[in-house]
Amino acid sequence: MNGGRVSPAGQKFSRLLSLLKDSEGAIIAFSGGVDSTFLLKAMKMSGMKVLAVTAVSETMPERDRLDADAFARDIGVEHLIIQTEELRNEAFASNPPDRCFFCKDELFRKIRTIAEEKGFCRIFDGSNKDDLHDYRPGRKAAEAHGIRSPLVECGISKEEVRHFSRELGLSSWNKPSSPCLSSRFPYGLKITAAALQRVRDAEDYLRSCGLSDVRVRDYGETARIEVREEDMYIFLDQGKRRLVVETLKSLGYKFVSLDLEGYRSGSMNRVLENAPETNGITLG
């Protein structure tokens, strides 16, 4: 990607392009996040036949769908938006620790049907090497449906994805992670469309206050706000703090708290650190 001697990271990128070119054609489960955006760009660069499929439901932030649609259109890739209905599956809505398996299982079943109808033999997802070291029940669904992860196969990490994305001029290179809204609820607390909308509205409001990496963890009557430590100063202003409390209470919360430890990805998984479902995997 840069002139001169090829770095180890550059070798990985070259290997990725070769893998994709040899694949000839594939569908990508395209969320619009950092990883799948980079992978889709690489697929386009390789010259292979590509179809991007994005699933939308109550669990997906609207901005992610808009980002996915805009990017696919910008680089000239056929983009199909499908509807998933994971909330209708009690195995998902009851919010067990392996909740993500049922969501991904439905997604990959639908994409597999599309692949058969359109003559694609391969389906890719945007998992990267680091995902192998986190608790990701959805990967079991990917394995069950024969989904390939080119970034994993080429040993590409999240940091490298962001590096390559920046080199390619992708605006997503520093995009904050945007996991499914269901990740805001403690395991065992039932997930409903109304609760998801409340979280969506609360986080949208906090972003309008200038907060980027923000999570509203929903405990029913209580909202636990996570922001980066350097952003906590916003809540020291009495007027702003009161406005945040009033706004979130207007959405239905009775108690509004700030987590003094700050934002950390996958914080809800801490209760699983010694649980058998994690199979000894280190949690993020």
In a domain, 111, yes or no: yes
Q: Which residues of 74-96 are buried (b: 16+ CB within 10 A; e: fewer)?
A: ebebebeeeebebbeeeebbebe
Same domain, yes or no: 207 and 82: no
Look-up of token digits 């920046």: 166
Q: What is the pLDDT of residue 62?
A: 87
Query: Residue 203: which CATH number?
Result: 3.30.70
CA-CA distance, 36 to 21, in Å (whole number)?
17
In a domain, 271, yes or no: no
Same domain, yes or no: 231 and 195: yes
In a domain, 2, yes or no: no
Same domain, yes or no: 168 and 187: no
Q: What is the pLDDT of residue 192?
A: 97
pLDDT band at 284 (very low <50, low <70, confident <90, very high): very low
pLDDT band at 129 (very low <50, low <70, confident <90, very high): very high
Same domain, yes or no: 161 and 81: yes
Q: Which of 232, 235, 230, 203 has its CA nearest to residue 216?
A: 203
Same domain, yes or no: 212 and 185: yes
Same domain, yes or no: 78 and 167: yes
Same domain, yes or no: 104 and 44: yes
Tokens at 184, concatenated: 């805001």
The last residue of one of the domains, among 118, 153, 174, is: 174
- Strand 25-29 relative to strand 49-56: parallel, antiparallel, unpaired? parallel
pLDDT in tens, 47-71: 999 999 999 999 998 889 999 999 9
In a domain, 275, yes or no: no
The last residue of one of the domains, among 174, 208, 243, is: 174
pLDDT in tens, 138-168: 889 999 999 999 999 999 999 999 999 999 9
Count: domains in the chain: 2
In a domain, 269, yes or no: no
**Is pLDDT of 35 > 60?**
yes
Same domain, yes or no: 165 and 212: no
The last residue of one of the domains, among 149, 174, 199, is: 174
Same domain, yes or no: 13 and 32: yes
In a domain, 156, yes or no: yes
Q: What is the pLDDT of residue 6?
A: 61
Which region among 94-108, 181-195, 254-268 has the lowest average model confidence (pLDDT)?
A: 254-268
pLDDT in tens, 199-248: 999 999 999 999 988 999 999 999 999 999 999 999 999 999 999 999 99
Q: What is the pLDDT of residue 272?
A: 65
Domain of residue 93: give its range.
8-174
In a domain, 281, yes or no: no
Same domain, yes or no: 148 and 204: no
pLDDT band at 278 (very low <50, low <70, confident <90, very high): very low
**Is pLDDT of 186 > 50?**
yes
Same domain, yes or no: 138 and 35: yes
Same domain, yes or no: 40 and 105: yes
CA-CA distance, 258 to 21, in Å (whole number)?
48
Average pLDDT, the chain: 91
Query: Residue 83: which CATH number?
Result: 3.40.50.620
In a domain, 200, yes or no: yes
Please give the model's pTM, rounded to 2 decimal places.
0.87
**Is pLDDT of 266 > 70?**
no
**Is pLDDT of 281 > 50?**
no
**Is pLDDT of 276 > 50?**
no
Cβ-based neighbour number of residue 172 at 10 Å: 20
Q: What is the pLDDT of residue 280?
A: 34
Q: How far does Cα 37 stand from its chain's mean position?
A: 11
CA-CA distance, 149 to 73, in Å (whole number)?
23
